[in-house]
Amino acid sequence: MTETIQYNLLSNAKKIQKHIVLPEGNDDRILTAASQIAEDKVAKITILGDPEKVNKRWEEWLEYEGEIIKSYGNKETIHG
């Protein structure tokens, strides 16, 4: 039952393609969530945080190479 609900939620989210903004981009949990959401193509992601810290952590251990927007105040970079 739970798997059916989760499947329906993900399926609907993929169709709608909302934009999610995630704060604290240097937190591994946030980067993991962003990677999973983007990899599953559930939503568009913007990660907020210090550019050097976010990029360093991203490149150290995340494998996802798709498009993720990382926003730092007035600057935005696209990873992927």
Burial of residue 34 (CB within 10 Å: 0-12, 13-18, 19+) is: buried
The predicted pLDDT at position 4 comes to: 92
Cβ-proximal residues to 55 (8 Å cutoff; 6+ apart), any chain? 70, 77, 79
Maximum Cα interatomic distance, the chain, rounded to a whole number of Å: 44
- pLDDT per residue rounded down to tens, the chain (80 residues): 688 998 898 898 889 988 888 888 878 888 888 888 888 888 888 888 777 777 777 777 666 555 565 555 555 555 54
Q: Which CATH class is domain 2-79?
A: alpha beta
